[in-house]
Amino acid sequence: MKLSALTGGSEEAHVTGFAIDHRKVAPGTVFGAFRGARVNGEDFIADAIRSGAIAVVTRPGVPVEGAAAIRADEPRACFADLAAKFFAPFPGTAVAVTGTNGKTSTVEMTRQLWRMAGHHAASIGTLGVTTADERVTTGLTTPDIVTFLSNVAGLAREGVTHLAFEASSHGLSQYRTQGLPIAAAAFTNLSRDHLDYHGDMGAYLAAKMRLFSDVLSDDGTAVVWADDVHSARVIDLARARGNQLITVGEHGATLRLVGREPTLLGQGLSIEAEGVVHRVQLPLIGAYQAANALVSAGLVIATGGEVAATLQSLARLQPVRGRLERATITRAGAPVYVDYAHTPDALEAAIAALKPHARGRLIVVFGAGGDRDEGKREAMGQVAVTQADRVIVTDDNPRSEDAAAIRRAVLKGARGASEIGDRREAIAAAVREAGPEDIVLVAGKGHEQGQIVGDLVLPFDDVQVAREVAA
């Protein structure tokens, strides 16, 4: 493909690929030179050109010698739009999900519902690239724009027609989802997270809102969980833009949750839609799982799914890896659940989901990650000790921070909790003391298969560890 076909100019050079890492530049590459939090890509323009870059996308005023200069006030957005033209075509139907909690479950449930309806569907997010046949880990909720668009194009070549993906606040602020036409966008909820990056809740919400103001197609549909305090902002924006609107939840107008009854292995839902009350046995526990399921149903309906059939398909949903996943049952008969909850709200939701099922105590094992928002640590401790019956504070992913210092910050809010730094021993301690009427929740890492300590990623899977210590 000629560069002129992408830019509309007269450049005759042949484009072979796109890169934002100068070390991945090959002859014919379009290089994106962006300022980052730690590295300034503009410093590597000369290196990229020496490696064969034929064009550089960067800010106005940045010198470029030896290659075509494509300058834009927002170079990341410009780069994404050019890359989308290069990598296309994509699956015919794509939807995106943003929010603090529930993104992973929602995109995976959406994929499952589409598959039940007969579509060849896939999802991209924290769990990686998931299709009916395989899963490939990407390591990021929203991959870099080149990885994202090349993956999406590859899925289209494999016959995928429907794609659901997570749109993280980082990804949205860095234009990592730009260029792909979005038929529907969903909002789950908003609570404190990633303030180490965004600075404050206003900036965090603004990043999420970009999905609806800039990414969602003009004729697309906004799907909104209506029971969150921030939902009105999304609803108002959708109406102002003239988008179609689907709201779900107890305050939802499209799918109204009128009843929810916990059962031994799930919950019974009563959902009013189009004047009819549909009763569904959802095989997942917890109020937030019901919320994710309804948002997923909204996305499927927004993209052509029939209402009654979609709602009845909720009864066939499978659990999502690391999201209230039952890892094992101890010798004493206590179930052990693993969940990805790593914010105060998410931890509270996970505890609330399990509490009705515990005839005895709810024992919680959790920690907090290093090099992340420090302000949520004490709050997570407060949630744990006020909502659970027994709390063990342990290590999560300390990264470059001192693990003991992180635990001390959590314990400021977790008065009366036990402290066991070694995560395996903490899980083992909870398993040993859990009686037949108790439930153990291991929170914070969910699906992750490694523990980040300094520069090392040590093999660690909460589910596997729980099974081993319970054997």
pLDDT, tens digit (0-9, with 9 covering 90-100), for 382-392: 999 999 999 99
Structural class in CATH, domain 88-316: alpha beta
pLDDT score, position 443: 98
Residue 92 pLDDT greater than 80, yes or no: yes
**Chosen CATH of 325-470 out of 3.30.420.40, 3.40.190.290, 3.90.190.20, 3.20.20.80:** 3.90.190.20
Residue 208 pLDDT greater than 90, yes or no: no
Fold of 3-86: 3.40.1390
Does 264 or 223 have the greater pLDDT score? 223
* Residue 12 labeled ligand binder: no
* Residue 454 labeled ligand binder: no
* Residue 189 labeled ligand binder: no
* Residue 448 labeled ligand binder: yes
Residue 192 pLDDT greater than 90, yes or no: no
Within the chain, all domains assigned CATH 3.90.190.20 are found at: 325-470
Place of tokens 């550089």: 56
* Residue 142 labeled ligand binder: yes
* Residue 402 labeled ligand binder: no
Residue type, 330: T
Within the chain, all domains assigned CATH 3.40.1390.10 are found at: 3-86
Within the chain, all domains assigned CATH 3.40.1190.10 are found at: 88-316
* Residue 396 labeled ligand binder: yes
* Residue 372 labeled ligand binder: yes
Q: How far apart are CA 451 and CA 129, in angstroms?
A: 21
* Residue 101 labeled ligand binder: yes
Strands (E), 131-251: 135-136, 162-166, 182-187, 216-225, 244-249
Beta bridge partners of 337: 326, 441
User: In terms of C-beta density within 10 A (0-12 exposed, 13-18 middle, 19 or more buried), how is residue 271 classed?
Assistant: buried
In terms of average pLDDT, the best of 24-33, 137-146, 227-236 is 24-33
- Report the share of the chain in percent with pLDDT over 70: 96
Confidence of residue 201 (pLDDT cuts 50, 70, 90): low
Q: How far apart are CA 430 and CA 433, in angstroms?
A: 5
Residue 141 pLDDT greater than 60, yes or no: no
pLDDT tens digits, one per residue of 428-451: 999 999 999 999 999 999 999 999
Reduced to 3 states (helix: H, G, I; strand: E, B; else coil), residue 312 is helix
* Residue 355 labeled ligand binder: no
Confidence of residue 100 (pLDDT cuts 50, 70, 90): confident
3's CB contacts (< 8 A; 6+ apart) are: 9, 11, 12, 13, 14, 15, 30, 54, 55, 68
SS3 annotation, 81-139: HHHHHHHCCCCCEEEEEECCCCHHHHHHHHHHHHHHCCCCEEEEECCEEECCCCEECCC
Smallest Cα–Cα separation from 97: which of 308, 372, 302? 302
pTM of the model: 0.81
Residue 351 pLDDT greater than 80, yes or no: yes
* Residue 217 labeled ligand binder: no
Residue 139 pLDDT greater than 60, yes or no: no
What tokens does 352 get?
A: 């609330």
pLDDT tens digits, one per residue of 217-250: 999 999 999 999 999 999 999 999 999 999 999 9
* Residue 335 labeled ligand binder: no
pLDDT score, position 449: 92
136's CB contacts (< 8 A; 6+ apart) are: 128, 129
pLDDT score, position 133: 74
